Amino acid sequence: MNEEHIARIQSDPRFHELVRKRSGFAWTLAIAMMVIYYAMIAFIAFNPTALGAKISSGSVISIGIVSGFLVILIAFVLTGIYVRRANSEFDELTRQIKENAQ
């Protein structure tokens, strides 16, 4: 890719739209994940015995195991949300920018 193509891409308003939308969405999901993760860490710090409690009287599974699993599951869900939007909206904008640059 030469300097002319780069300049053409960087001057395209759709490129700026793509960068703004993608980074804003990525930051939103990252902040959501950090809030969830640090909320769990804060809960552990301020109430460590609560996570050791069993989910029912005869169970061997603790609340800590369930909450840890949920944090991991939420991370996968947020990743899936990002991939879905990237494959639809962001890829379409990228295709339009590439076509315009040629």
Average pLDDT in the chain: 91
Q: Using one digit for the tens of pLDDT, what is the confidence trace for 35-84?
A: 999 999 999 999 988 888 999 888 899 999 999 999 999 999 999 999 99
Which pLDDT value is given to residue 86?
93
Which pLDDT value is given to residue 51?
86
Residue 1: pLDDT above 70?
Answer: no
Q: Using one digit for the tens of pLDDT, what is the confidence trace for 9-48?
A: 888 899 999 999 999 999 999 999 999 999 999 999 999 8
Q: Domains of the chain: which residue ranges?
A: 3-101
Which pLDDT value is given to residue 9?
87
Q: 26 with 85: CB under 8 angstroms? A: no
